[in-house]
Chain A
Amino acid sequence: MKKLLLMTVAVAALAAGSALAADLKFQPGQDSKFNWKSYDDFKAAHADLKGETMTIFGPWRGEDEALFTSVLNYFTEATGVNAKYSSSENYEQQIVIDTQAGSPPNVAILPQPGLLANLASKGYLTPLGDDLANWVKTNYGAGDSWVGYGTYKGKDGKDAFYAFPYKADLKSLVWYVPENFEEAGYKVPTTMEDLIKLSDQIVKDGGTPWCIGLGSGGATGWPATDWVEDLMLRTVSPKDYDGWVDNSLKFNDPKVVNAIDEFGKFAKNAKYVNGGVAAVASTDFRDSPKGLFTVPPKCYLHKQASFIPSFFPEGTKLGQDADFFYFPPYASHPELGKPVLGAGTLATITKDSKAARAFIEFLQTPIAQEVWMAQSGFLTPYKGVNTAAYANDTLRKEGEILTTATTFRFDGSDLMPGKIGAGAFWTGMVDFVGGKSAQDSADAIQKAWDSIK
């Protein structure tokens, strides 16, 4: 028995040893496009954390989890903290379970300010301090907006800064394969009217213009909310958009119903979507873009946020094999300019510890962002990073939209109360694509909203 115990101890020690000597994707000090000074400074300032453990809970799974781990390895290497990352397909529910059960992770990273506001109001989050809020304000593009998205009312009813924005997504993008466009002689449209004309042209040429997939397990329907939000920004004023998000503009207002109908023009048109309308709700959003890359292409256009290249076929070169254009505004609404819809993940402390604080500080360093930037699927509004670190021009182009933005709108469904933005809105969109009218779907969502007031 004693021998067995000793052997297990030895194996455990070996495993722990190998975890500490984690392989770093880019060797410190080697590539000048990375800000290694920030890494060295951070390492020097946090040498006292060796041997501590901390848990991180986040939304990233699969490919993204590997990317996040590659960043986390630098934190582990610098501090010696034993950091464990975990995730869940139903992270919205899991974090509520964990916090209410009294066993939260040290750090929770979530893409939903609405949900975080709810957790903060129950006293589950630890304020990060005004200094950090000011730092975000001065160092981030559209810093005020970002501080706003991380500031919630606590259990005491007072506003405080709870969530540090790390990693942003840009939503107003339409992806296409340049080669297919060249072959068919299509041009990138600059107005919504042109985009619809292009779609009609593709249908006339015997092709299918769009790949749309709303499937996402328990979260099925959310990709449709992005469409509606983008179309809201293109048909009504930003003020109306803000009102819609806090329900001072009713969900079944004609302005919203109109935006849902505009989405229906794409998703509920059997000629427009690959696989027919029935396939829209049942196709997984992760599988949906693959239609762009088949020969012959199953579709020519795919509207999805900046994270989607993670799900492109392996070896796809951005800017060459696949590119994006800005989801265009209506020429009939010149007063709305060129609105941009975005989102992001926000890091919060759900169980305070020295290591957790150090981790938030780590996320502030340029290196914590550049390592991910240099791979794929990471954008940041942080102006202190070296944009040369972006893996390709496509990402750099997206990143610059974020850092130079004076203001941009956050994903509406993530700001609405969880029950709506991560519930009734999804179901409503699934029902809408399934055959319900826009008015009926909007009425049902508004009714759900009334019931939680």
Chain B
Amino acid sequence: MISQILTAIGAMIFGVAVCAAYFLFSNKLLDLIFPAKEGGDVHRAAVNLRRRSLIRPWLFLGPALFLLAVYLMYPVVATLILSFYGPDGNQFVGGANYVWAFNDTEFRQSIFNNILWLAVVPAACTFFGLVIAVMTDRIWWGNIAKAVIFMPMAISFVGASVIWKFIYEYRGGNDTQIGLLNAVVQLFGGTPEVWITIPFWNNFFLMVMLIWIQTGFAMVILSAALRGIPEETIEAAVIDGANGWQIFWKIMVPQVWGTIATVWTTITILVLKVFDIVLTMTNGQWNTMVLANLMFNWLFRGGGDSGRSAVIALVIMVAVTPIMIWNIRRANAEMKGR
């Protein structure tokens, strides 16, 4: 333990020192190669200065670019290569893993479930987040309400799963139902159900958990955006006789549209990576499998198959990429506007 802490501290000091040394020495080296005073030759000196300012940013960016390449590009390329190899990554199998994927019922089930998640969760989170942000703005206990709604954000996905397991808990026969949902159902005279085993609908019971967690995030961001709307536009609308509904849709929403898009896409990317909830609640059984869990199962269960899991990983990456590109482009466009 002690030695580990000391190693960590040592590594930190060493890392910072190496970084500082890199910047100092590379700068010095640049100055040496392109000196500012070339024996009184003003023209050469000016050229040197220009060259230096051209190279310097790349020098500073260099380590970051290198690390990005190592940590982002290399894994992508390695995964792509693995996807053409057999279970242990030694035997070339061509496109067999891809053929398998599109013929596998479990894979298709996962794609279908992922699309369900994508259709429901980001929309629901953004909608609830926006509605709550608007409503809590007008009431005196709005901040308390916001704090409560934001709280699930602080809980880990696995922690949330444990909480929701007790909400969906089912006890057989004449036992007292300890699950909240079944207790409520029983109170109104219904028959208790094993919620997480009902095919198709169980997907929605899992989605509710993510909506519960993420609505707070959407609410906080959107509420900040709503605060940014100039009072005058709303006052003008009121004077013109707009009702609350019109103010919301015609004045507020268009002005925070950019933020809505950001929140939506952020949650979309999160949903594509959903894993913990499914693992802890059903582990993909009862037709709730999603891509991330399928990939994990193929990679690690029963000895593992790196080829097939690589295919699934690539599918997830391909699905996330367009959303990320769109997000970055939009952010860039907004930056240019300023």
Interface positions of A (Cβ within 8 A of B): 5, 8-9, 12, 92-94, 96-97, 100, 114-115, 118-119, 121-122, 208, 217-221, 274-276, 278-279, 281-283, 298, 417-423, 426-427, 430-431, 434, 444, 447-448, 451-452
Contact = CB atoms under 8 A, between A and B. Distances in A.
Interface in B170-184: 170-173, 175
Contacts of B193: 278
B194 A118 contact: no
Contact of A9 (B2, B87, B284, B296): B2
Q: Is the interface of B mostly helix, strand, loop or mixed?
A: loop
B175 A275 contact: yes
B100 A451 contact: yes
Q: Is the interface of A mostly helix, strand, loop or mixed?
A: helix
A245 to B, nearest CB: 14
Given A96-B304, A118-B303, A451-B104, A298 B196 contact: no
B281 to A, nearest CB: 10
Interface in B146-195: 170-173, 175, 193-194
A419 B105 CA distance: 15
Nearest to A282: B194
10 tightest CB-CB pairs across the interface, nearest first? A275-B172, A418-B302, A279-B172, A118-B303, A93-B300, A218-B283, A275-B173, A419-B302, A282-B194, A96-B300
Contacts of B2: 5, 8-9, 12
A337 to B, nearest CB: 32
Contacts of A447: 105
A100 B285 contact: no
A427 B194 contact: no
B302 A276 contact: no
Contacts, number: 100
A96 B301 CA distance: 7
A283 B286 CA distance: 14
Contact of A118 (B171, B175, B283, B302): B302
Contact of B286 (A12, A276, A418, A434): A434
B194 A122 contact: no
B235 interface: no
B300 A97 contact: yes
A217 to B, nearest CB: 7
A275 B286 contact: no
A100 B285 CA distance: 26
Interface in B294-316: 296-297, 299-305
Interface string B99-121: 01000111000000000000000
Given A9-B2, A208-B173, A279-B170, A119 B303 contact: yes
